[in-house]
Structure 1
């Protein structure tokens, strides 16, 4: 049985479930209209939150766009809520095999690598779907991440062909410059989209920067 979706790159949105629900869902709808490719729910819940109910509301918005919905860290939610398509780990889990046995269905799996090439190698060995590097720039929403150098991402590309996402302080402006320094397939964003007055337009700006021809631009400047 195949996994529900294939991750290739693009703009990856991380949702903070503590945001007021009507605002969260309205901004998610707007962002999806802009062309989001992946959505993750951050493991940061209000006390007493009805996690399943909120996940199912988010999933109902994502499904018509054929956008996979991932949960951060808590694999028991992946096991218990069929609306979820996968999980994103912040670090190597104790036993991925145990998690796969417990979930008992195909699912998407990604991991944050920070600056560790050992984690990249683990992701390749365990056939994960993508890796994410955080943080490329200083960022309040990625405050727990170490700063990752472009050279680290370049070295990681030798270890695996899987899709790379970069995260942490990414803007449409610094994204173009980063593309000139290292290879990656997509970006993961939290506040850069959800704090925007018009998430749809902000996503389109990220997409334009992500697809910009930096080779031609660099040649013109030489």
Structure 2
């Protein structure tokens, strides 16, 4: 099964601050990683839907122009309002089946499964398009008490066709074992936005494509 999978891709996650020059940074990152970045998650906290939609609009346009999936974190109503490509649900953010009813058959629905095989199988049975495991490493972006081992990715990719996403503190220096274990996507935030996004994208390309 794992031999048939597509090469690992990069799944970018926004910082919490997405105003200012962030649209320019996103554009530069996607330009530098046009062969490896296929999804972007819009993740903001504590904003009303109108304000969030205003911040999302230019980012969604940038993603659409590059055929990068625009995924909304946590909020099915915001994803519906934006006509986003999908939504990412934490364990407390709703049921994938209900999200599917709201967003339609074509929506990409992902579910956070921490370090749990059981939660991942439940998500798959509920119709999730991908499952996310993590945090694999300590993260400054989002705190997590869950610390799975790469073997979890190997187990999942060997048994299931649904893609798996590795998340949590991933950098070009520590991400290769996750790629080798079978991650379909590396979800990255601080590893890109914490420095020069163009150089970071090039560094990730090196571990994703063995260049």
TM-score (norm 2): 0.85
2:162 and 2:184 map into 1 onto residues whose CA distance is: 9
How far apart in 1 are the matches of 2:119 and 2:199? 34
Cα deviation digits, residues 87-134 of structure 1 (max 9, x gap): 011226543333322334621111122111112112322332222211
CA separation in 2, counterparts of 1:47 and 1:17? Answer: 14
Deviation at 1:201, TM superposition (A): 2.4
Give TM-score scaled by structure 1 length.
Answer: 0.81
Q: Considering only aligned residues, what root-mean-square deviation do their CA atoms show, in Å?
A: 2.4
Moved more, 144-153 or 65-74: 144-153
Deviation digits for residues 156-210 of structure 1 (CA, Å, limit 9, x no counterpart): 2344122222111211121224445x2212210011111222x122112112112
* Residue in structure 2 matched with residue 61 of structure 1 by the alignment: 62
**Partner-residue secondary structure (3-state), 1:44:** coil
Q: Which piece of structure 1 moves more, 121-130 or 92-101?
A: 92-101
Q: How has the CA–CA distance of structure 1 residues 168 and 94 changed in structure 2, closer, same or farther, with 3 Å as cutoff?
A: closer
- Unmatched 5+ stretches in structure 2: 1-5
Q: Which runs of 5+ in 1 are unaligned?
A: 1-6, 214-222
Q: What is the total number of aligned residue pairs between the two structures?
A: 203
Change over 3 Å in CA distance of 1:9–1:75 after alignment to 2? farther
Pairwise mapping of residues 1-222 of structure 1 onto structure 2 (< 5 A)? Answer: 9-19=8-18, 21-35=19-33, 36-46=37-47, 50-82=51-83, 84-91=84-91, 93-104=93-104, 106-180=106-180, 182-197=181-196, 199-212=197-210
Q: Which moved more, 1:108-117 or 1:36-45?
A: 36-45
**What is the rounded CA distance, in whole Å, between the counterparts of 1:164 and 1:18 in structure 2?**
27
SS in 1 for 2:161: coil
Is the contact between residue 17 and residue 44 of structure 2 (CA under 8 Å) also seen in structure 1?
Answer: no
